[in-house]
């Protein structure tokens, strides 16, 4: 517990840098807000000095369904260059659009049990909506690192195989207070510390 509290103090004192460490095995990170409450569905990305070579693959499906007039999942992490499927599981028709800089597109209305797809060639955050149902909001986080994941209900995410050394870190959440809803930093990491807690400020 002392190590975690020390980390938070350093993080608060040096906003431009991240003071966590990682290991060559698994790293477990908890994201909490300014009240100390867990932040669910925050995207955490780690990247080392070396550019990743080869395709990036995640264990989840590259798809965002439309179910009960909701995008499921509400936030999806995809590798840069991925093609994402948008199956309609509702009884009503939906359209999908985005005005986000990484991907501006529009998919016309389509019905139940039909699927449309879209490619995402640029990294960043893509906010999606439905022109028919204004309450529908979803997000795609397009990444260039295999070390990316989304926090659970307790604010935790586990990233496997993270190398030691210099690591840049990004936390994104639609309600995070910061440019592009991100908190970015850089740090030289040690393999002996693989459980950390990060505090972010939410709107």
Residue extents of the structural domains in the chain: 2-51+146-199, 65-143
Please state which of the ranges 79-83, 95-99, 135-139, 161-165 shows the lowest mean pLDDT.
161-165
pLDDT greater than 80 at residue 3 = no
- 90: left (phi > 0), else alpha (psi -120 to 50), else beta? beta
DSSP 51: P
Per-residue pLDDT at 181 = 97
Beta-carbon contacts of 6 under 8 Å, excluding residues fewer than 6 positions away, are none
Per-residue pLDDT at 117 = 98
- Other CB atoms within 10 Å distance of the CB of residue 136: 18
pTM of the model: 0.84
Q: Which helix (H) or strand (E) holds 9?
A: helix 2-13
The distance in angstroms from the start CA to the end CA of the chain is 27
pLDDT category at 196 given cuts 50, 70, 90 is confident
Q: Do domains 2-51+146-199 and 65-143 have the same CATH topology?
A: yes
190 close to 164: Cβ distance less than 8 angstroms: yes
pLDDT greater than 70 at residue 44 = yes
Per-residue pLDDT at 142 = 98
pLDDT in tens, 94-104: 999 999 999 99
What average pLDDT does the segment 170-174 reach? 97
Topology at the third CATH level for domain 2-51+146-199: Immunoglobulin-like (2.60.40)
d(CA 54, CA 79): 11
Per-residue pLDDT at 190 = 66
Beta-carbon contacts of 87 under 8 Å, excluding residues fewer than 6 positions away, are 63, 65, 66, 113, 114, 115
pLDDT category at 14 given cuts 50, 70, 90 is very low
pLDDT category at 169 given cuts 50, 70, 90 is confident
Topology at the third CATH level for domain 65-143: Immunoglobulin-like (2.60.40)
pLDDT category at 174 given cuts 50, 70, 90 is very high
pLDDT greater than 60 at residue 92 = yes
Q: How many residues does the chain have?
A: 203
pLDDT greater than 70 at residue 5 = no
């Amino acid at each position: 517990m002392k190590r975690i509290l020390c980390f938070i103090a350093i993080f608060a004192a040096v906003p431009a840098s991240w003071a966590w460490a990682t290991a060559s095995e698994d790293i477990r990170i908890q994201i909490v807000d300014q009240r100390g409450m867990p932040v669910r569905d925050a995207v955490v990305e780690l990247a080392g000095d070396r550019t990743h070579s080869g395709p990036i693959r995640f264990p989840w499906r590259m798809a965002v369904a439309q179910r009960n007039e909701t995008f499921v999942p509400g936030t999806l992490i995809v590798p840069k260059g991925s093609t994402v499927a948008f199956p309609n599981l509702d009884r009503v028709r939906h359209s999908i659009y985005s005005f986000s800089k990484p991907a501006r597109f529009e998919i016309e209305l389509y019905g139940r049990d039909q699927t449309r797809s879209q490619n995402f060639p640029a990294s960043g955050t893509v906010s999606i909506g439905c022109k028919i149902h204004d309450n529908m909001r979803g997000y795609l986080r397009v990444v260039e690192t295999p070390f990316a994941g989304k926090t659970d209900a307790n604010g935790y995410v586990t990233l496997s195989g993270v190398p030691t050394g210099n690591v840049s870190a990004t936390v994104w959440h639609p309600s995070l207070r910061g440019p592009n809803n991100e908190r970015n930093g850089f740090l030289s990491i040690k393999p002996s510390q693989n459980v950390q807690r990060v505090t972010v400020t939410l709107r």
